[in-house]
Amino acid sequence: MAVLDIEDVLLGTQTGERYQPVVPPELQQVTFPETVIDSRLVTPGCLFVALRGERVDGHDFVADAVARGARGALVRRDRLAALTLNRPFAVVDTASGAGLAEAGPEDVLLFAVDEPLHALHRLAAYHRSKFTPTVIGITGSVGKTSTKEVTAAVLQRGFRTLKNPRSYNSENTLPIVLLGLTADHDVAVLEMGMYGPGEIALLCSLARPQIGIVTNVGPSHLERMGSIEAIQRAKSELVQALPPDGYAILNYDDPLVRAMAEVTPARPFFYGLDPAANLWADGIESRGLQGISFWAHYGDEAVQLNLPLIGRHSVHTALAALLAARRPGGGGSGRVAGVRSESARLGSWGGP
């Protein structure tokens, strides 16, 4: 678990050119072992972020968070005067560091920011920039959570892997996942949700993925987005954000996803049931509760796989995960043999 200190919080939440904060000696041992946005999830010593939502405002729960053991909180400057806490506290302005010198070693630290959500984004991006994992972003109208789970299951057998807990995939929750990144992590597998245009682009600016998986484009957001084309554009923000030396892993069987190869600077790789895909499957057989069996093809190579996944749709999930795990740019020689190796890892997976 990543641990933030006061310097991290001050450096990470600043805007514009950063100043170097001077943390008094009596506060240099203060750390925040976890960051939360729900006061019910507070753990001793954590950092609470007071987010404003459609129905509730986190500032109304700062006192509850502190009572439960929060050591610090990100709060709006214009809400500070209304806060009443049951513990001594000090206000520290993140823009200047004012108030830090006067803070006592036992004080709860209220970090005054412009907007806690924006400060959380800056803090997550700053924290992400300190490490060099391979980041895999995953989106799609359907199947992104299962693809995230299966991809992480394959990778964590050989690499220290970070993944979203539950469905922490929004602009409020993905930053919390990123703040769990440590130097020990080799890979981060991150599901990215979409409420509207620009959200996936924002998440990518924080997480900086090198590999992107798009499962499909469907009508699940149609009422809000207005058209299937608008949904496609929003989902394509993931592959548009990939670097030129990255890899876009696309579902060839979905024409709207296949077309994203034209808008990504990364190298596209396709998976699906069509032989035109780079990694494709046929001979699919259901074995009931025992899972599925199918032949996986890459170029002239083929291998039969038996996996503990239920349903024909799981073939796409497995193909995407196996292709991501094989690091597509690693060359074509022995590709299917590598897929067999990765599927052996998946075969010993007992589920999320």
State the Cα–Cα distance between residues 322 and 341, nearest whole angstrom. Answer: 9
* Helical (H) or strand (E) element with 113: strand 108-113
Q: Are residues 245 and 98 in the same domain?
A: no
The DSSP letter of residue 263 is: T
In this structure, is residue 276 part of a structural domain?
yes
In this structure, is residue 287 part of a structural domain?
yes
CATH code at position 300: 3.40.1190.10
Q: Does residue 349 or residue 64 have the better pLDDT?
A: 64
State the Cα–Cα distance between residues 310 and 341, nearest whole angstrom. Answer: 20
What number is the average pLDDT over the span 169-177? 97
Q: Are residues 232 and 321 in the same domain?
A: yes
Q: What pLDDT does residue 341 have?
A: 53
Give helix 6-13 / helix 116-128 axis angle, nearest 10°: 110
At residue 101's C-alpha, the angle toward residues 100 and 102, to 5°, is 90
In this structure, is residue 73 part of a structural domain?
yes
Q: Are residues 340 and 292 in the same domain?
A: yes
In this structure, is residue 352 part of a structural domain?
no
Q: Which of 12-16, 200-204, 319-323 has the highest mean pLDDT?
A: 200-204
What number is the average pLDDT over the span 94-109? 95
State the Cα–Cα distance between residues 317 and 310, nearest whole angstrom. Answer: 11
Q: Of 123, 153, 175, which residue is a domain's last?
A: 123
C-beta separation of 201 from 237 below 8 A: yes
Q: What pLDDT does residue 53 have?
A: 87
Label residue 330 by pLDDT band (50, 70, 90): very low
Q: Are residues 51 and 138 in the same domain?
A: no
Q: Does residue 339 or residue 191 have the better pLDDT?
A: 191
What number is the average pLDDT over the span 312-338? 69
Q: Are residues 153 and 301 in the same domain?
A: yes
Q: Are residues 158 and 275 in the same domain?
A: yes
Mean pLDDT of the chain: 90
State the Cα–Cα distance between residues 267 and 260, nearest whole angstrom. Answer: 11
DSSP notation for 189-242 = EEE---SSTTHHHHHHHHH--SEEEE----GGGHHHHSSHHHHHHHHTHHHHTS
Q: Does residue 263 or residue 308 have the better pLDDT?
A: 263
Tell me what percent of the residues of the chain surpass a pLDDT of 70: 92
- Out of 10-14, 32-36, 147-151, 270-274, least confident range: 147-151
Q: Which of 250-259, 287-296, 327-336 has the highest mean pLDDT?
A: 250-259
Q: Are residues 149 and 282 in the same domain?
A: yes
Helix (H) and strand (E) counts in the chain = 12, 16
Label residue 352 by pLDDT band (50, 70, 90): very low
What number is the average pLDDT over the span 90-96? 95
Q: What pLDDT does residue 345 have?
A: 52
Q: Are residues 111 and 247 in the same domain?
A: no
Q: Of 73, 92, 123, which residue is a domain's last?
A: 123
Label residue 344 by pLDDT band (50, 70, 90): low
Q: Are residues 162 and 107 in the same domain?
A: no
In this structure, is residue 284 part of a structural domain?
yes
Q: Are residues 86 and 173 in the same domain?
A: no
Q: Are residues 167 and 118 in the same domain?
A: no
In this structure, is residue 151 part of a structural domain?
yes
Q: Are residues 117 and 141 in the same domain?
A: no
The DSSP letter of residue 307 is: E
Name the domain count of the chain: 2
What separation in angstroms does the CA of 171 have from each of 130, 193, 206? 20, 8, 10
C-beta separation of 210 from 138 below 8 A: no
CATH code at position 75: 3.40.1390.10
The number of residues making up the chain comes to: 352
C-beta separation of 150 from 317 below 8 A: yes
Q: Of 99, 123, 147, which residue is a domain's last?
A: 123
Does the reported pTM lie above 0.85? yes
In this structure, is residue 314 part of a structural domain?
yes
**Residue 306 is part of which domain span?**
131-347
Q: What pLDDT does residue 310 have?
A: 83
Instruction: Give the model confidence (pLDDT) of 34-57 as tens digits.
Output: 999 999 999 999 999 999 988 999
